[in-house]
Amino acid sequence: MLDSNFNLKVIDFGFAAPNSGRTGNGFLNTECGTKMYKAPEIYANENYQGNAVDIFAASVCCFALRVGTFPFGSAQHHTDSLYRLIIQEKLDEFWKYHAGSQAQGFFNSEFVNLFTYLFQRASHHRLPIADILGHPWMKGPIANADEARQEFQRRRQALDDI
């Protein structure tokens, strides 16, 4: 969440749980979360590890902040055609769909590589946080505070104009 000055605020710890799980086995089983951010293992009613679903949700947020649209409607491959492209490994089609609304070259190979791993159906195929932080895309240029505010002001204006 962003405040009126575009400062990031972390919210919604309503279902926070220890890394060891509520029963101490390292897994959780509460079905919770917002449709677009919910990891596929939650939709499948599987026991899950909190850090893996948090990485999935944070990846959706990061994609949306960078691209300006959500990567898919939900991680339900049987109902969401965009997420199904990932599951079926039709990645060229997934990225082609998103590239259609962006300038040529918007999706560089490092971005595509990172997010392809982060949106995987099986949580053990997603990159752990250390690998995410060390990924080449994460080492790219970083906007300073003024640049970030200007971009968010531009986005706010575009929404206000709708």
Closest Cα partner for 51 from 130, 113, 147?
A: 130
Residue 151, domain extent: 40-160
pLDDT at site 152: 86
Position 19 in a domain: no
Position 6 in a domain: no
User: How many domains does one find in the chain?
Assistant: 1
pLDDT at site 13: 57
Task: Write the single-letter amino acid at 97.
Answer: Y
Q: Report the distance separating Cα 47 and Cα 79, nearest Å.
A: 21
> 32-40, long-range: CB within 8 Å, 24+ apart, which pairs?
33/57, 35/73, 35/74, 36/60, 36/70, 36/72, 36/73, 36/74, 37/61, 38/74, 38/75, 39/75, 39/123, 40/75, 40/76, 40/77, 40/83, 40/121
pLDDT at site 145: 86
Position 13 in a domain: no
Which residue is listed with tokens 């932080």? 133
pLDDT at site 20: 65
Position 23 in a domain: no
Is the Cβ–Cβ distance between 114 and 132 less than 8 Å? yes
pLDDT at site 19: 65
Assign residue 81 the CATH number of its domain.
1.10.510.10
Please report, in tens digits, the pLDDT of each residue of the chain (162 residues total): 777 877 777 766 556 666 666 777 778 787 777 888 999 999 998 998 888 999 999 999 999 989 989 999 999 878 899 999 999 999 999 999 999 989 999 999 999 999 999 999 999 999 999 999 999 999 988 888 899 889 889 888 988 998
Position 77 in a domain: yes
